[in-house]
């Protein structure tokens, strides 16, 4: 357990936030720091063909140790952490034998991780939790995944009695800003299928995700002196308010769950003369997803007609699609992961992702890629935590998947 803790902490204390405003890849130079460390570590544990390209994508190979051919499989995690909350100067706190009570993250600022609010904590009583100090995110998304993949490969190298086929691993930049798979070379990776280690609580196994689009609404107004504004001023912020109010009020993230889609206003900037609204549009069902985008445009058209001028402009760009369509024809890869969890005593929690992973884009690039738990909770904020036992079970899941695959295709 201490080796796992040490490895995980060595990763999370390196700031690797990505930057959606930078179009380069990687979007931040600091992602190279962890990437270069990982290259050295992969080489030191005995991985082969370790390489890093000019865009910070790392790939490596664990050769087969059996004398017959089985499909090459892969495991993938991302290097970057979310730009939504600071990751500078992460100070992890370790709580052994968690007693099930409130955890004081920061006494000075009265920041408390409480099971009365974060009810998932209740299932980890008696375990070792790693939390933040309340001032940064933790980075378990997805440095827990990196820890699990590296540790599993090291375990297999140290235990050649555990039989497996050829295994490929990869670590990607910029997943948190939706670009992790953009420059991923599927042909070079050369795996029949792969698993992203990027889920949340122990047991999660996901092969469905949202269809996703980004929408930008630009509203043009007209500014004049308010004392002489009668029939002259056009306040773009008030028009923006009408637009927001016209969308379905209960179809927002905090009012939806499961397979329910939503419109999420995440950024708003406004002055009288110009207001911009930035939305994400999500739905698991492709036909409903397309209806949502159409409805978004129809609202803009209707308000423009009411105003008698085209003051609202809308741009919509698809981001990724539901990988279920690509996984369904090869469901045995999900069954293998499910069997692996069951054999190590983990109850599989098969559900749809209310978001997306590199795996959704990779599946459409020809690499079917379900998502497996990495073990963390409350990603992207100060209340993030991960049980070390969940990381251990994810490592065991990876190892077991490789063994089951070798047996299945003998």
| Pair 4, 392: CB distance under 8 Å | yes
- CA–CA separation, 29 and 19 (whole Å): 10
Half-sphere exposure of 133 (CA within 13 A, CB side): 12
- CB–CB of 196/311 below 8 Å? no
Cα–Cα distance, 135 to 87 (Å, whole number): 9
Q: Beta partners for 270?
A: 275
Q: Which residue has the tokens 């297999």?
A: 156
What contacts 320, CB < 8 A, 6 or more positions away?
178, 209, 210, 211, 212, 356, 360, 361, 364
Whether 80 is a known active-site residue: answer yes
Handedness of CA 124, 206, 85, 171 (dihedral sign): positive
Lateral strand order in the sheet of 211-220: 262-270, 274-283, 211-220, 312-320
User: What is the bridge-based pairing of β-strands 73-78 and 193-199?
Assistant: parallel
Q: What are phi and psi of 149, to 5 degrees?
A: -70, -50
Catalytic residue among 80, 154, 198, 396: 80
Tokens of 381: 């904020």
Q: Whose CA is closest to 132, among 88, 177, 77?
A: 88
CA distance 390 to 396: 10
Asked if residue 336 lies in contact with residue 347, where contact means CB atoms within 8 angstroms, the answer is no
Closest CA to 41 of 146, 175, 133: 146
Phi/psi at 106 (nearest 5 deg)?
Answer: -150, 100
Question: Does 175 participate in catalysis according to the annotation?
Answer: yes
Among 19, 41, 148, 175, which one carries the catalytic annotation?
175
Contacts of 404 (CB under 8 A, 6+ apart): 336, 339, 340, 343
Cβ atoms of 382 and 110 within 8 Å: the answer is: no
Residues with catalytic function: 80, 175
């Amino acid at each position: 357990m201490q080796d796992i803790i040490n490895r995980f902490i060595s990763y999370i204390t390196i700031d690797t936030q990505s930057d959606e405003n930078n179009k380069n890849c990687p979007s931040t130079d600091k992602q190279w720091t962890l990437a270069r460390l990982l290259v050295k570590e992969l080489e030191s544990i005995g991985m082969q063909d370790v390489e890093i390209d000019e865009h910070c994508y790392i790939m490596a190979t664990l050769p087969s140790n059996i004398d017959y051919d089985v499909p090459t499989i892969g495991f993938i995690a991302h290097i970057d952490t979310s730009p939504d909350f600071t990751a500078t100067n992460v100070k992890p706190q370790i709580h052994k034998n968690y007693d099930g009570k409130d955890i004081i993250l920061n006494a000075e600022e009265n920041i408390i991780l409480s099971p009365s609010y974060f009810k998932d904590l209740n299932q980890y009583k008696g375990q070792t939790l790693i939390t933040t100090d309340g001032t940064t995110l933790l980075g378990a998304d997805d440095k827990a995944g990196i820890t699990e993949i590296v540790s599993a490969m090291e375990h297999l190298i140290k235990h050649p009695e555990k039989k497996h086929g050829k295994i490929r691993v990869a670590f990607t930049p910029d997943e948190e800003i939706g670009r992790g798979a953009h420059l991923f070379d599927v042909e070079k990776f050369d795996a029949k299928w792969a698993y992203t280690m990027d889920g949340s609580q122990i047991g999660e196994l996901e092969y469905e995700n949202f269809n996703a689009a980004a929408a930008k609404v630009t509203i043009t107004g007209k500014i004049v002196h308010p004392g002489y504004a009668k029939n002259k001023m056009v306040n773009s912020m008030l028009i923006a308010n009408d637009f927001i109010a016209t969308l379905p009020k209960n179809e927002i993230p905090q009012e939806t769950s499961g397979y329910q889609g939503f419109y999420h206003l995440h950024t708003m900037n406004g002055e009288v003369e110009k207001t911009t609204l930035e939305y994400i549009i999500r739905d698991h069902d492709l036909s409903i997803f397309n209806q949502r985008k159409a409805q978004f445009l129809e609202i803009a058209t209707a308000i423009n007609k009411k105003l008698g001028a085209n003051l609202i402009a809308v741009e919509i760009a698809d981001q990724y699609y539901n990988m279920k369509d690509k996984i369904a024809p090869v469901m045995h890869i999900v069954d293998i992961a499910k069997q692996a969890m069951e054999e190590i005593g983990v109850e599989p929690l098969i559900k749809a992702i209310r978001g997306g992973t590199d795996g959704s884009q990779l599946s459409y690039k020809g690499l079917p890629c379900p998502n497996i738990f990495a073990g963390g909770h409350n990603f992207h904020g100060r209340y993030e935590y991960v049980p070390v036992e969940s990381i251990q079970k994810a490592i065991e899941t990876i190892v077991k998947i490789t063994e089951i695959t070798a047996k299945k295709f003998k």
